[in-house]
Amino acid sequence: SNKPLITVITSTLNAAKHLPAAIQSIREQNYQNIEYIIIDGASSDGTLDILRANEDVIDYWVSEPDKGIYDAWNKGVKLSRGDWVAFLGADDIYLEGAMQAYVALINSCSDESLQFVSSQVNLTSGSKVVGSIGQSWDWRVFRKYMNVAHVGSLHHKSLFVKFGLFDVTYKICGDYEFLLRPRANLSTIYLNST
């Protein structure tokens, strides 16, 4: 129970340039109880060769047309077996030890109804950190604008059971709309580390 299964979902479309770094960041995590799912939108740029070459770290992947990122994420959520679900962009990476830090925070929380974990995320240009985003979740702020970094967050599977999947009619901000559904009742914790 102190080593929950974390499902990480990456959606891709012609992401061959950046995807290897995202996959490598999963490979380098020192937390071993990770399920990695990649949902590809029928890429034509060599992405499939990368997926085949990394099947030792990818638990499931598929390449087929979809209706955008939220459709791809929904496919991943439906396939996930994890206690917690995270969404890693094809051009994003996790820092070494990130999953271990999330799990340590979850295990330290006494709130058994915990639904959402957020953290700070570094913004980079090449290898240089140029800033960071992400604040602790606060409904008074969040109802006005999204102040959490989605890529630096984990969602308990109970959120999807209770509130459904992402609305595929959104091209952007579907992650924000999803987290608006629980309103002030979202039970959260914040990892104050970059």
pLDDT tens digits for range 120-132: 999 998 889 998 9
pLDDT given at position 37: 98
Give the C-alpha separation, 106 to 108, whole Å. Answer: 5
Give the C-alpha separation, 118 to 121, whole Å. Answer: 9
Q: What are the phi and psi torsion angles at 173 (to 5°)? A: 70, 10
DSSP symbol at 59? S
SS3 107: helix
User: Residues of the chain with pLDDT > 70: what percent?
Assistant: 99
Q: Note the pLDDT tens digit of each residue in 12-71.
A: 999 999 999 999 999 999 999 999 999 999 999 999 999 999 999 999 999 999 999 999
- The pTM of the full predicted model, rounded to 2 decimals, is 0.96
Judge whether 101 and 107 are in contact, CB under 8 Å. Answer: no
Checking if the pLDDT of 194 tops 60, the result is no
pLDDT given at position 42: 97
* Cβ partners under 8 Å of residue 177, min gap 6: 166, 167, 170
Checking if the pLDDT of 193 tops 90, the result is no
